[in-house]
Structure 1
């Protein structure tokens, strides 16, 4: 912990359960649960998380509530972009799932995307000071160039949540499948959000966030997992932890961790 009111955000593509992976989900998941518990995020956004994987992780992380729907049916089927939050710190005000498509209110696939893609949005009230957070977790398509731009348009263009005394502070995290200086990334910045890594006084870990299950691989220095913050928030520190077990990484992405603090906008 740093400044009063500070909170930790962790975004993690935990890699869908593929039996041919080395290591397998069963091999790596205890290390993942312990890694998350050690980093102790107040907010955790996961990607590629099937319902069974979410259920297993939730069992290991009893202090968290969660919300996330399957991208295939808006229920249990398909990958989710589930958000977890510390139950003793945050109260859920409302939650919704949007699809990156021309019909965002229902399960659908958009533009040139290979798969349906979701945005999980949860409005949380901090029990300590009453501040509201508008938290968004997403996973942009890995194939569709247009889809990534359109998803950036959707997620960055969501109307602000106006509350008494101001506007809910935005935290946007996820696997954007696109690096800095690309069109989707620039669209997000154009909305007034900032890249937490770019504005952090302390940055630790490799530049790239995708490792293909090779601890020495940092995706040629290109980060595709990001945390963006809106007005009213500042960054204390940012890291890309590369924790491993027996030389094996815990997912084919490294997580990203940012300590954020409220400031007067």
Structure 2
């Protein structure tokens, strides 16, 4: 019978030669896991200084800036956007009166005049403020039209009763419905016309402080400046409603927007 000693020694030699290979696997796994570590990396110094030293309206979030420009620079003149806080305060004073530059916080003052085309919307834009402001201005316009005397009224006799028409019919007349004929879609659209509101915004100097990027700097009308200025006007009213309350926003709408457009309001 052959001896089993050579076979056992061979097996022991084989096992001893395989042991280092088995022990090396965990080290490889640990080494590769370090490359995919979930530990938060240290922030670059420029991120901390930018976020801490400069306000939001004055900077683009550093992590939203591309490392290089993907599109060529547009041809033609360059449109310069206002970055002077004093110039912005002057526009608010012209629109809201003395102390108008103190009605809103610094961040909201810039947000209300920032269109979504400026800096690709990375510094915030005024669409939501304009949505609220438009609802407020629309409501105040409807109430003003209801209090406005109608252009035409049904003819009445000497006693104040409506005169029947040729078919013998007379309309139902009530004081609550007297001015309802003035509240039409055409009348409201003519009051809140884009051209009229943009002209009013130019009177207040909002065209000099609104931050936006026209398609062509040499053709602002073709780039939609009327819609941009109208949005800034709506957004300022919406911002006042959020920070000062609805009563103040209604008063600003009546005195600074509807009154210059031809409406009159009683002092009470």
Task: Output the TM-score relative to the length of structure 1.
Answer: 0.24
Higher relative contact order structure (alpha carbons within 8 Å, sequence separation ≥ 6) = 2
> Which is richer in strand?
1
> Which is richer in helix?
2
Task: Output the TM-score relative to the length of structure 2.
Answer: 0.23
